[in-house]
Amino acid sequence: MAQNQPLSSDMLKGTLDMMILRTLSTGDAHGHTIAKVIERTSEDVLEVEQGSLYPALHRLEDRGWLSSYWGASENNRKAKYYRLTAAGRRRLTLEASRWRQMARAIALVMGEHVTEEGAE
Amino acid sequence: MIFERLFRLSLFRRRSDRDLASEIAVHINEERAENIARGLSPEEADRRARIKFGSVRRVHEDLWQQNSVALFENLAHDVPYTLRTLARTPGFTLTAVLVMALGIGATTALFTVVKSVLLSPLPYPHSSRLVSLYESDTVSSTPTPWDPVAGGVFHEWQRATQSAAQMALVSPWQGYNVSASGGQLPESVSASWVSWNLFRVLGVAPALGRDLLASDDKPSAPATVILSNAFWKRRFAADPAIVGKTVYLDANPYTIIGVMPASFAWNFNSKTELWTAAAHESPYLMSTFDDHEFLVVARLAPGTTLAGLVNQVDTVQRHIKLAHPEASVHNRAIGRSLLDSSVEDFRTPLYALLAATVCVLLIACLNVANLVVARSAARQRDLAIRAALGGSRWRLIREHLTESLVLSTAGGILGLLLAMASLAWLAHSKIALARSEEIHLDWWALGFVIAISIITGLVAGLIPSLGLHAGQLLESLQSSSRSHSGGRSRARLRKVLLTAEVALTIVLLLGAGLLLKSYQQLRTRDLGCAVNNVLTMGFSLPDVHYKETTQKVAFFEQLLARVRALPGVRAAGLSTKLPGEGWGGDDDISVVEHPPLPKDQWIDFLRRGVDPGYFAALQIPLIRGRYFRSGERFGHAHVAIISDSIVKQYFPGEDPIGRHLTTGIDKETSEIVGVVGDTRWMISQPIRPTYYLPLFTGDSGGVSLAVRGNPNVDAESLALPIQKIFGQMDPDLPVHDVLTMKQNIGVATLQDQFNSILILAFAIIALVLAAVGLYGVLSYLVTQRTGELGIRIALGAQRMEVMRLTLTDGLAPVAIGLLAGLAGGAATVQLLREMLYGMSPFDWSVFLIVVVVLAITAACACILPAWRASQLDPAQALRAE
């Protein structure tokens, strides 16, 4: 299990919210889809322990960044869909820019070379 | 947010649990469907889907925790963690806890005193209905707002208000000689004369025997006395059959009719040991309108208010004044609650002390906040990385809070012990504090400690959190590769804290300085007579044994002759009251040669009876005329000596010698034969005009003896031989208050000494805390700037320049705090006006000294870190990066 998770789940926690917001910015999805999208787009490095997704989703909904509704899944089952709210979109912008700063800072501390365009 | 969540918790927990379950089921189904699509067997597909999802139960638990109030949920985790961290830095922990304990302990102790003395109801049933009434003079040249009530006036009041209140009177400043009996020495005790119904009005009854009856409170009634519990135990060994026995007071037999319960607290004079019936003791006082001898206590009838009752007696008093227009009859009546009149004198000092302790507590709080900031600054990179990795801001604040709450809890427990110790000390000290026997730690105090510990913890924990916002954490992470400007905002926060600390310290120092100076002035105040090596003692010749004036005078003369003959005695004198001993009686005076005064004006002089050698013995200077002569005695002594202030006030530009004064009740006329220097009747009070009559006219029973020792003899060592002389002359005559003049002054100024020393102690604590804070902040700044300073020095900056730079950094908050403190102090010291004797609260010398003391302390606290900065080795400083 450990090899499957190159990043410790603790480290992921802080960024999971941000990644969920990012995933939902392309369209509404239910939990399973979100987990799959994160796995695939990270080239399977960020293998989310799928269970940990749900506390995060509920938390984000509590804060008004997501809204939810019940709809039909691809396999025609009743599933809970999540949608990014306007506040969620603003939050995503904020977190993304912070993240870029942070990533650059950590890279500096770790003595990596950082080029200016390194931060997209 | 929290409420919303609690709301959700309580109402929707069930539904959301069901929702979650179906959400999870959908998820696992989707995964399984995908796995089957990849060609796995249904069993394997299900197994993998479940592994991939992880524990369903944990998801439920996580959500539950997430929806709960984090503070309580995580307490069990946070507290042990905090304890471990604190244990790793025992120096920090110990300092913080001690500082907190000091603040909390002092505040709790003072809170307890204030509550027990000033706020809690008097220990009588329905005590809120008890009031005390006074006469008041608003028209005379010397207004006396809260004057005791004359006996005749009392009866008029009582008659007019029978339906509105029960009214009783008491004269708490009486005393008796208790005769030697059953192998016990004679002694002189404090007593109160009371109207028969006083205890009934208060709502208390004797524990043993009976209360006074109306039939006891008559001139013709047999003499009766009620004992205090303490006196009964001490003098009569708690004899259960004491009621009905006889005790000799001033050599007269009194029947003991009752003993008060031990719990009975007598607030008018806590030394009172006997109560006797006023009308029996002094029929004369009960009928006059101008001899103000009694306090009046009234219990309001249901439906009557204090204002209503005062209104009624005020009307009565105006009628009395119309019927008796004499100047010494007062024209108005006023009143206040009995509680207020019992504790009036202590209100300002106690509140001032409480304010001082609150100041200390605040400073302690700021200091601990400062320490917490310093600690978190040291762990800043650690915190920044945790924040980057998703540690929430709330989580970090919670850590600060837990830490400071743990500290303040420990401080609170230690503070409670401290408060207990200081209250125990207070109980054993000789402070004349009303209701001091009622002071004890109770549930209120405990609640107070808990509340104040929590508040202190919250304040000390939240202040450092002010600086914790995400941007800043990021900044600190970014700056960490070259930390030249790192932690600046942290330092700014600490400087603000420091400024507040300095300001509070200034306020405390100002208060302490003023009180101390006032106390010092009081101690060195000129009493107007010799105070060095002077021994004093009091005695009272009972009329029963000394019926004739000649007997008294013979006793005085013989006593003086024998005392003066003692080896080591330089001089001795007798007076009805010595300087500094108190009021001692006063008279309305008129000068025969002067035109009569306008109707509403009157002259009032303190009266003293002295022997011919008194002035010389106490070195009171003779300014004009002569002393009394030893032949001036009995009926043919129509002479008086006046004090210098009388001459200045009433004989300006006139020789008073040969003028005549008409004095006292019997309107006797005396010729002024001399003028002597002023003396103070009480050390803390302004000088009052005083006139002297010859003691050898023999009217006085209560007399004080003053003995000045030879320079090579300690006056205190004369006490025993003199008491022996008394014993030989009259074995049944007790001598009381054997004290040197200096001890007398000390007793009179004890309260002021207590106040000023306590506030000074608080101020010193504040000063030390401020200095420690200053030192800490500056040391921290220097450490922060080590690299920068190293570069500066390496580039050729002068070491003096570096030192100046660092000093400015540290002293700027001091300067701002100083100004703020002076401004705040100027407003605060106004409140101390009542506690200062003969000086303005704006005493420039005190202000100056405070500023200088603080500046020096601050400079001392700053100089070491600054010097260290200037001595940095640039090579090492740079390598330290």
Please provide the distance, in angstroms rounded to a whole number, between the alpha carbons at the two ends of chain B.
44
Contact B388 A106 (CB under 8 A): yes
Contact A52 B59 (CB under 8 A): yes
Q: Which residues of A touch B (CB under 8 A)?
A: 10-11, 13-15, 30-32, 35, 49-52, 54-55, 58-59, 62, 73-75, 77-80, 98, 101-102, 105-106, 108-109
Reply yes or no on whether the pLDDT at A8 is more than 60. no
CA distance A48 to A69: 23
Q: Are strands B668-676 and B639-643 parallel, antiparallel or unpaired?
A: parallel
Q: What single string gives the DSSP state of each residue in A46-60?
A: S---GGGHHHHHHHH
pLDDT of residue B205: 93
pLDDT of residue B367: 82
Helices B90-114 & B443-466, crossing angle to 10 degrees?
Answer: 140
Higher pLDDT, B880 or B394: B394
Chain B residues within an 8 Å CB radius of A32: 26-27, 30-31
Strand partners, B131: B298, B337
- For residue B739, give the 3-state DSSP assignment: strand
Q: What percent of chain B has pLDDT over 90?
A: 28
Rounded average pLDDT over B77-87: 81
Chain A residues within an 8 Å CB radius of B31: 32, 50
Chain B residues within an 8 Å CB radius of A98: 470, 474
Contact B391 A14 (CB under 8 A): yes
Contact A31 B59 (CB under 8 A): no
CA distance B734 to B728: 12
CA distance B515 to B829: 10
At B744, the pLDDT band (50, 70, 90 cuts) reads confident
Nearest CA in chain B to A109: B481
Rounded average pLDDT over B200-213: 93
Nearest CA in chain A to B67: A59
| Closest Cβ opposite residue A30 in set B26, B54, B63 | B26
pLDDT in tens, B478-503: 554 444 444 556 667 778 888 888 89
CA distance B502 to B810: 12
pLDDT in tens, B747-777: 778 778 888 888 888 888 888 888 887 787 7
At B224, the pLDDT band (50, 70, 90 cuts) reads very high
CA distance B691 to B590: 12
Higher pLDDT, B487 or B665: B665
- Residue B488 sits at the chain A interface (C-beta within 8 Å): no
Contact A79 B59 (CB under 8 A): no
Residue B850 Cα, gap to closest chain A Cα (Å): 49
> Kind and range of the H or E element at B801?
helix B799-828
pLDDT of residue B537: 93
pLDDT in tens, A43-56: 777 776 777 788 88
Residue B43 Cα, gap to closest chain A Cα (Å): 19
Reply yes or no on whether the pLDDT at B78 is more than 90. no
- Residue B469 sits at the chain A interface (C-beta within 8 Å): no
pLDDT of residue B309: 93
Q: Which of B758, B766, B360, B717 is nearest to B567 (CA)?
A: B717
Rounded average pLDDT over B214-241: 91
Among B17, B18, B26, B67, which would you mutate to test the A interface (most chain A Cβ atoms within 10 Å of its Cβ)?
Answer: B26
Helices A9-24 & A31-41, crossing angle to 10 degrees?
Answer: 110
pLDDT in tens, B781-837: 777 777 778 888 888 888 888 888 888 877 888 899 999 999 988 888 888 887 888
pLDDT of residue B701: 67
Higher pLDDT, B267 or B88: B88
Reply yes or no on whether the pLDDT at B72 is more than 80. no
Q: What percent of chain B has pLDDT over 70?
A: 89
Rounded average pLDDT over B266-285: 86
pLDDT in tens, B313-322: 999 999 998 8
Chain A residues within an 8 Å CB radius of B62: 52, 54-55
At B2, the pLDDT band (50, 70, 90 cuts) reads very low
Higher pLDDT, B763 or B3: B763
At B572, the pLDDT band (50, 70, 90 cuts) reads very high
CA distance B258 to B177: 19
pLDDT of residue B868: 81
Which residues 18-57 of chain B have a CB within 8 Å of chain A? Answer: 19-20, 22-24, 26-27, 29-31, 33, 52-56
pLDDT of residue A117: 45
Chain A residues within an 8 Å CB radius of B470: 98
CA distance B247 to B259: 13
Q: What single string gives the DSSP state of each residue in B768-791?
A: HHHHHHHHHHHHHHHHHTHHHHHH
Nearest CA in chain B to A54: B59
Q: What letter does residue B54 receive in the DSSP assignment?
A: -
CA distance B324 to B152: 12
pLDDT in tens, B399-458: 778 888 888 999 999 999 999 998 888 877 766 677 777 788 888 889 999 998 998 888
Reply yes or no on whether the pLDDT at B477 is more than 60. no
Reply yes or no on whether the pLDDT at A66 is more than 80. yes
Chain B residues within an 8 Å CB radius of A51: 24, 53-56, 58-59
| Contact status, residue B215 vs residue B277, Cβ threshold 8 Å | no
Computed over every residue of chain B, the mean pLDDT equals 84
Reply yes or no on whether the pLDDT at B709 is more than 70. yes
Higher pLDDT, B164 or B92: B164
Q: Which of B132, B128, B126 is nearest to B154 (CA)?
A: B132
Chain B residues within an 8 Å CB radius of A79: 23, 26, 30
CA-CA distances (angstroms) from residue B590 to A90, B433, B599, B861? 94, 39, 12, 66
Nearest CA in chain B to A9: B389
Residue A100 Cα, gap to closest chain B Cα (Å): 11
Q: How much helix, strand and coil, in percent to the nearest 5, is found in chain B? A: 55, 15, 30
Reply yes or no on whether the pLDDT at A119 is more than 50. no
pLDDT of residue B6: 46
| Closest Cβ opposite residue A55 in set B19, B62, B474 | B62
CA distance B95 to B573: 58
pLDDT of residue B667: 74
Considering only CA atoms, give the Rg of chain B: 38
Helices B151-160 & B306-323, crossing angle to 10 degrees?
Answer: 120
| Closest Cβ opposite residue A13 in set B29, B30, B390 | B390
Residue A68 Cα, gap to closest chain B Cα (Å): 12
Contact B30 A50 (CB under 8 A): no
Estimate to the nearest angstrom the gap between the alpha carbon of B165 and the chain centroid. 33
Residue B28 Cα, gap to closest chain A Cα (Å): 8
Whether the ipTM is more than 0.85: the answer is no
| Contact status, residue B671 vs residue B642, Cβ threshold 8 Å | no
Higher pLDDT, B184 or B130: B130
- For residue B304, give the 3-state DSSP assignment: coil
Flag the least confident range among B2-6, B185-189, B286-290, B601-605.
Answer: B2-6
pLDDT of residue B313: 92
Reply yes or no on whether the pLDDT at B381 is more than 80. no
Residue B30 Cα, gap to closest chain A Cα (Å): 7
CB pairs under 8 A between A and B: 92
| Closest Cβ opposite residue A31 in set B5, B27, B58 | B27
Contact B30 A78 (CB under 8 A): no
- For residue B432, give the 3-state DSSP assignment: coil
CA distance B764 to B359: 12
At A73, the pLDDT band (50, 70, 90 cuts) reads confident
Contact A105 B390 (CB under 8 A): no
pLDDT in tens, B143-161: 677 888 999 999 999 999 9
| Closest Cβ opposite residue A102 in set B19, B55, B388 | B388
pLDDT of residue B297: 93
Q: What values do phi and psi take at B172, rounded to 5?
A: -85, 0
| Contact status, residue B787 vs residue B820, Cβ threshold 8 Å | no
Nearest CA in chain B to A64: B1
Q: How much helix, strand and coil, in percent to the nearest 5, is found in chain A? A: 55, 15, 30
| Contact status, residue B467 vs residue B725, Cβ threshold 8 Å | no
At B726, the pLDDT band (50, 70, 90 cuts) reads very high
Virtual CA dihedral for B576, B577, B579, B582, nearest 10 degrees?
-160
Chain B residues within an 8 Å CB radius of A107: none
Residue B14 Cα, gap to closest chain A Cα (Å): 15
Reply yes or no on whether the pLDDT at B520 is more than 80. yes
Reply yes or no on whether the pLDDT at B166 is more than 90. yes
Chain A residues within an 8 Å CB radius of B23: 30-31, 54, 79-80
> Kind and range of the H or E element at B678?
none
Residue B397 Cα, gap to closest chain A Cα (Å): 17
Nearest CA in chain B to A78: B26
The alpha helices in B38-148, defined as continuous H runs, are 42-53, 56-67, 70-88, 90-114
| Contact status, residue B26 vs residue A30, Cβ threshold 8 Å | yes
Q: What letter does residue B181 receive in the DSSP assignment?
A: B
CA-CA distances (angstroms) from residue B246 to B178, B242, B277? 11, 9, 16
CA distance B163 to B454: 51
Structure tokens at B713: 């003899």
Reply yes or no on whether the pLDDT at B637 is more than 80. no
Chain B residues within an 8 Å CB radius of A74: 30
CA distance B832 to B295: 28
Highest mean pLDDT among A66-80, B395-409, B501-515, B626-640: B501-515
Virtual CA dihedral for B829, B831, B834, B837, nearest 10 degrees?
0
pTM: 0.69
- For residue B379, give the 3-state DSSP assignment: coil
Which residues 380-439 of chain B have a CB within 8 Å of chain A? Answer: 388-391
| Closest Cβ opposite residue B27 in set A50, A59, A98 | A50
- Residue B470 sits at the chain A interface (C-beta within 8 Å): yes
Contact A32 B390 (CB under 8 A): no
